[in-house]
């Protein structure tokens, strides 16, 4: 458990909650046992609960690999009252943890976040969570451009796997972002935020940022689906060309097969088998027809 304090207000940051941390939070907030249970177990849906003297929030955030791919979902539980703001993060490397470290390194700058009250700091933390999406959106732009270039350079098999990963990442991030909008609106509708002109501006900015991220994800989702359909069309076109070539080769060797069948018959008194010149003429004619047909086919395909 770490903390930053200014005057009579403190931000408590907990990354791996322990029994001592629970005792401290219980003492300061007089938590209901149900809330304690939520603090100590993972929750898969965002929540907003208003109790006597404090707020309890559950928010989620995506955690990404260094290459920008989606890794996993992190959870942050937030308790707010007049004296404390407590954040309990389930994963390392969360946007909240990074911001807390920045505040620790520069106490003088961090004081401005404390001077305007707990709701202002809460809005700042929500903004930090949303800002964590933008590097991922930038990676989506680069990946989409790369896939599009590969797609039209005869790399359909490679792009099929990349498009599938792209769709998975977008879908996972959308699954995290969308359910939190009602929670944000519940926070911003509180009297302390709604009636404060300074805070209401921040709240409106957060809502617009949330909409912006969602619209961008929707755009890339449609783009990924379009690339997937285009890739399948190109693969189908290539497959059809291969099937056509194989069919043409099969047809071109059909006369040879017929000739072999005829000569394979056990016909004892056939004049066709008595004259060697006729046999060689038929073989020459058949092979010539096959050669001409293959030459025309290769010329046409080339």
3-state secondary structure the chain: CEEEEECCEEEEEECCCCHHHHHHHHHHHCCCHHHHHHHHCCCCCCEEEEECCEEEEEEEEEEECCCCCEEEEEEEEEEECCCEEEEEECCCCCHHHHHHHHHHHCHHHHHHHHHCCHHHHHHHHHHHHHHCCHHHHHHHHHHHHHHHHHHCCCCHHHHHHHHHHHHHHHHHHHHHHHHHHHHHHHHHCCHHHHCCHHHHHHHHHHHHHHHHHHHHHHHHHHHHHHHHHHHHHHHHHHHHHHHHHHHHHHHHCHHHHHHHHHHCCCCCCCHHHCCHHHHHHHHHHHHHHHHHHHHHHHHHHC
Same domain, 75 and 219: yes
**Residue 232 and residue 258 in one domain:** no
Q: Are residues 216 and 274 in the same domain?
A: no
Q: Specify if 271 maps to a domain.
A: yes
- pLDDT (0 to 100) of residue 266: 60
Residue 205 confidence (pLDDT) above 80: yes
- Domain extent, residue 156, equals 2-237
Q: Which pLDDT band holds residue 240 (cuts at 50, 70, 90)?
A: confident
**Does any domain span residue 244?**
no
Same domain, 33 and 65: yes
Domain termination residue (choose one: 213, 237, 261): 237
112-168 tens-digit pLDDT: 777 777 888 888 888 888 888 888 888 888 888 888 888 777 776 678 888 888 888
Tens of pLDDT, residues 61-91: 888 877 777 788 888 888 888 888 888 887 7
Confidence of residue 265 (pLDDT cuts 50, 70, 90): low
* Domain identity same for 263 and 118: no
pTM score: 0.73
Residue 132 vs residue 299, higher pLDDT: 132
Average pLDDT over residues 43-54: 81
Q: Is residue 243, in this structure, part of any structural domain at all?
A: no
User: Are 24 and 138 members of one domain?
Assistant: yes
């Amino acid at each position: 458990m770490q903390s930053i304090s200014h005057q009579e207000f403190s931000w408590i940051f907990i990354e791996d909650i322990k029994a001592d941390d629970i005792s401290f939070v219980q003492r300061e907030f007089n938590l209901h046992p149900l809330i304690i249970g939520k603090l100590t177990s993972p929750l898969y849906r965002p929540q907003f609960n208003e109790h006597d003297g404090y707020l309890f929030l559950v928010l989620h955030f995506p955690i990404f690999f260094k290459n920008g791919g989606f890794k996993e979902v992190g959870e942050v539980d937030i308790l707010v009252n007049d004296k404390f703001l407590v954040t309990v993060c389930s994963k390392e490397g969360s946007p909240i943890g990074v911001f807390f470290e920045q505040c620790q390194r520069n106490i003088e700058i961090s004081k401005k976040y404390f001077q305007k009250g707990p709701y202002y700091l809460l809005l700042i933390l929500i903004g930090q969570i949303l800002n964590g999406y933008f590097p991922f959106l930038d990676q989506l732009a680069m990946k989409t451009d790369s896939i599009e270039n590969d797609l039209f350079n005869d790399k359909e098999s490679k792009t099929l796997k990349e498009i599938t990963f792209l769709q998975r990442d977008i879908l996972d991030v959308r699954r995290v972002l969308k359910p939190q909008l009602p929670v944000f609106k519940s926070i911003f509708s509180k009297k302390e935020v709604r009636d404060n002109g300074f805070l209401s501006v921040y709240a409106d900015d957060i809502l617009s940022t949330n909409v912006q991220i969602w619209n961008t994800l929707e755009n890339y989702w449609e783009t990924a689906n379009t690339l997937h359909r285009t890739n399948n069309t190109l693969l189908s076109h290539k497959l059809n060309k291969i099937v056509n070539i194989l069919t043409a080769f099969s047809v071109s060797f059909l006369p040879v097969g017929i000739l072999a069948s005829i000569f394979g018959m056990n016909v004892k008194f056939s004049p066709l088998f008595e004259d060697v010149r006729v046999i060689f003429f038929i073989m020459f004619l058949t092979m010539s027809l096959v050669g001409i047909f293959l030459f025309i086919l290769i010329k046409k395909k080339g």
